[in-house]
Amino acid sequence: MDVDLAPVLGSDQTPAPCTLSKMLLPSLSALLLAGIPAVNAAIAYKGVDWSSLLVEERAGMSFRDVNGNTKPLERILVENGVNTVRQRVWVNPSNGEYNMDYNIQLARRAKAVGLGVYIDFHYSDTWADPGKQGIPSGWPTDIDNLSWKLYNYTLESCNKFQDAGIQPTIISIGNEITPGLLWPTGRTNNWGNIARLLRSAAWGIKDSRLSPRPKIMVHLDNGWNWSTQNNWYTNVLKQGTFESSDFDIMGVSFYPFYSEAASLSALKTSLTNMANNWGKEIQVVETNWPVQCPNPKYQFPADVRSIPFSEAGQAQYVTKVADVVRSVNRGNGLFYWEPAWLNNAALGSSCPENTMFAWGGRARSSVSVFQRI
């Protein structure tokens, strides 16, 4: 149940104690006695991954708000409640897309409109995900030199952001690293190597000149699968090299169209267990929902099948995921993956359209959901 605080909050969102006591205490008491949370706090990090914006703009794409007014994408996002943008960083991409220069240019635009920046280091020259985690070209492969290279690359990259006037609020040390990172050295057949690599990456951030220091995230896929999360963190942390104090946030991907088991209820169980076991901040950092999906490759989970494939359905789905995040102790972030990548609208799924902008660049009504979560 939500309690509307608008009547008792000033423009600075500070509650007037006298007014609160008169208007809310009776209802709060009743709610607490009933075992119902009194207030669903807003999600602290309400974000999108906008990594492909410059790629789209170079292809001639522009963006419009729901009323058809042409605006920079960052303005549309801010007007609709987004407060943080996620950006992937590749090391030596063949065409320069998503490298450090690309990301600094993008992050400067975010900062200019007051958006926080969340950097997602892939530690690869291309996509890093559960199917591939390739070592960048020219990097060593033995664990000693690779760990040193990773530390220095992370340190230097963070210093470049600082020198450019960019202070990321979050940095992820790897992307969907459930099967490890920097293959073959960091595969899960050697948890000790994974722990050493993560320690090097984390301390590259901590030893950098970034000020204030960003929060450090570990990001795995299949956030709904508690067995996967438990197995991974148990094995990495028991090495004694990469410690719980080395990072702040556990981030997960959650896509309901890759497995019937990827339910909201399973997500809630998994995230709750993660929070209770390790006490970290919890975020869903990749998710999306289709506006059409005529031939899904997999059956959708039972508890999302009532959600329509539409703009309204996108908003309903994001709200439900946000409710799960809010229900978890220290759950505080939700990021929609690439809502404006119109030249790749399927976003890797069997559903042809998952973006929050229609072809041509006009915002769908669903983008305003960030104002309400």
Q: pLDDT value at position 24?
A: 37
Q: pLDDT value at position 2?
A: 39
Cβ-based neighbour number of residue 59 at 10 Å:
10
Which residues face 218 on adjacent strands?
A: 250
pLDDT tens sequence for the chain (373 residues): 333 333 333 333 333 333 333 333 333 333 333 333 334 578 999 999 999 999 999 999 999 999 999 999 999 999 999 999 999 999 999 999 999 999 999 999 999 999 999 999 999 999 999 999 999 999 999 999 999 999 999 999 999 999 999 999 999 999 999 999 999 999 999 999 999 999 999 999 999 999 999 999 999 999 999 999 999 999 999 999 999 999 999 999 999 999 999 999 999 999 999 999 999 999 999 999 999 999 999 999 999 999 999 999 999 999 999 999 999 999 999 999 999 999 999 999 999 999 999 999 999 999 999 999 9
Separation CA 205–CA 182 (nearest Å): 18
Which H or E run contains 89?
A: strand 84-89
Residue 312 makes CB contacts below 8 A (sequence gap 6+) with 365, 366
Q: Cβ(190)–Cβ(140) under 8 Å?
A: no
Q: pLDDT value at position 40?
A: 53
Omega into 7 within 30° of 0, i.e. cis?
no
Distance of CA 152 to the CA centre of its chain: 25
Omega into 256 within 30° of 0, i.e. cis?
no
Q: Which residues are catalytic?
A: 176, 286
Separation CA 246–CA 202 (nearest Å): 6
